[in-house]
Structure formats: structure tokens, C-alpha cells
Structure 1
């Protein structure tokens, strides 16, 4: 059994976003959805359902992004309130 980076896909209220993908990326998403569905016992997963969890996983794993986000949050908390 293959260990994929994504687990089951949460059913969350979506925000509509239109993107253009290279055909090869789309084909890979279709195949990833088939494999993930087979591994998790879910029905076939549409490519659009994979993009958000993949991006979230990517951002969680990006140390530079996490560091900058923490820094930005600290800067906002440290700034004085306007009078």
C-alpha cells in the first residue's frame, strides 16, 4: 500500500477560485485522486477537491512561510493601538 501525503479530504465550505493548470498537472491530479480514493476507500475524488488540501499541506511544511507568518503576527501584536 502506498503512503500518500494527503489523508481523507474534509468537507468544508469552499471559496470559489478559478485557476489554469498545465494539462500534465491536471492529469496527475486526476491520477492522485484515483489512488487516494482507492487507498482511503472513498469514492473517486475530483481534482478540484485535492488542490486546497495539497496547498495547505505545502504551506504547513514550508519553514520559511511559517517563520514569516509568525513574525508578521508578532509584529501586529507588538504595534501600538491607534488613538
Structure 2
């Protein structure tokens, strides 16, 4: 088999997660979706934004990254 520079792709199987949130958080997420629409000119449902928001939060939490052995 040839040596490829691209490593094998990770598992990308989506996992459905159901959560319950407070009315205040629902309102804040709605406001965030409105700000996103204003910034980018494209409306995205809150459910589509939440995974990106969570990923961004985890990627930028330095203490969490250090705890997982990432610089």
C-alpha cells in the first residue's frame, strides 16, 4: 500500500444528543443566531449552530486542552 501524506480520516458518524436547556439559554442562543445572520447574511437554525459553538468553546478552553495533553 502506498504511503500517503493524508492520515486515515477519523470516525465522522453523527451522534444525536438530546438536551434540555433553560429559557434564558434558549433566548441567548436565539440572539446568537440573529447575530450570526446579521454578521454573515445567512440564517442558520440554532440546532445547526450549537455543535459549532461547542466545538469552538472546547478548542479555545486552554485548561481543558492542557488536561487532554494538547498545547
The unaligned stretches of length 5 or more in structure 1 are 1-11, 72-83
Under a length normalisation based on structure 1, what TM-score does the superposition of the two structures give?
A: 0.61
Quote the residue 1:50 is aligned against: 49
Match of 1:51, SS state, is helix
The unaligned stretches of length 5 or more in structure 2 are 1-11
Question: Distance between the aligned counterparts of 2:28 and 2:58, measured in 1?
Answer: 20
**Deviations 1:50-82, CA, capped at 9 Å, x for gaps:** 2111111111111111111117xxxxxxxxxxx
1:1-83 aligned at under 5 Å gives the runs 14-42=14-42, 44-70=43-69
In structure 2, the CA distance between the partners of 1:62 and 1:19, relative to structure 1 (3 Å rule), is: same
**Deviations 1:24-54, CA, capped at 9 Å, x for gaps:** 1011111111110121011x22111121111
By percentage of residues, which structure has more helix? 1
Higher RCO (CA-CA < 8 Å; seq separation 6+):
1
Quote the residue 1:3 is aligned against: none
In structure 2, the CA distance between the partners of 1:35 and 1:60, relative to structure 1 (3 Å rule), is: same
